[in-house]
Amino acid sequence: MTTTTLLRAGLALALALPAAAFAADVPQSFTATYQVLKDGGPLGEATITLKPAGSGQFEYSNETKGTSGLAAMLGANVSETSRFTWAGQVPQAVSYHYEMQAAIKSKTRNLTVQGRNVQVQDNKKSFSYPAVPGMVERNTLPLALGVALRSGRKEVALPVAVKQEVENQTFKVSATEKVSVPAGSFDAVRVDRTDADRGFNAWYVPSKYPVPVKLAQKDGGDLTMELVKFEGK
C-alpha cells in the first residue's frame, strides 16, 4: 500500500463522520493492569489508562515499573503518554512522550503532529516527516488493533509514526487459542504482525476488552505482558 493510498484512505475516514459519531463504539475510559515478564520471569508491572483530556482529545498512558531482578535494582521505570483524537474508530495521533529512567541510563522521545508534519525529538536528535491522516504511534497501536477487532476485522493495516518515518504495518488474526493469565482463562484470538518479522503477537478477547489480555514482543528483548485486572467501559 503506497503512502498516497494511505493518505486518501485516512482522509476519507477522517471526513466520513465526526469522531463524536462513534462515541458509543470506541472506549472512553479504562484502567488495565498487567504483569510484565522477561524471558518468562517476573520483571515488573504496567498500568495502562485511557481518559478524556478535553477539546475532543484523549490521553492514553502506560506506566511500567521494574519490581523484580535487575530492573528493580536499577530503579528502571518507563512512562509513555499519548494524546489522540478518535478519527472514526482509529486513535489518530496528536502527540507521544516516552521516558525511560534507570540508575545507569535515561532516554526520552517526543513526537508531535504539527499540521501536516510529524516532529520527533529523540534524546538530542531531531527528525521531521509528513503526517498521514489516521496515523497512530507505537503506544496506541495495541488499542487501535483491539477496536478494529471488536468491529469484526480479521486483517488490519495501520500507518504507524515511528522515529524517522511512517511505517505501513499490517496485522491479521492467525488463530483462536486458549490463554491463561492472572485475569482468567480466555478463548482469545491471536494477532500477528505480517509485514515484517518483528516477533509481535497479541491475544485479544474483543467482546470483553479493547486491549490485549496478553502481548509478546521480541524486538528489544523477550518481553510479555499479561492482564491482571481491567476496570472501565
Which SS3 state, helix, strand or coil, does residue 108 take?
Answer: strand
List the grid coordinates of 93. 495521533
pLDDT at 7 over 70: no
Q: What is the 8-class DSSP label of residue 131? A: -
Report how far residue 196's alpha carbon sits from residue 160's, in angstroms, rounded to the nearest whole number. Answer: 13
pLDDT at 82 over 80: yes
pLDDT at 25 over 90: no
Q: Which stretch of 105-114, 135-144, 180-189 has the lowest confidence by average pLDDT?
A: 105-114
Supply the pTM of this predicted model: 0.85
- How many CA atoms are closer than 13 Å to the CA of 227, on its beta-carbon side? 24
Domain ranges of the chain: 3-232
pLDDT of residue 14: 40
Query: Per-residue pLDDT tens for 138-171?
Result: 999 999 999 999 999 999 999 999 999 999 999 9
pLDDT at 11 over 70: no
Count of other CB atoms within 10 angstroms of residue 6: 19
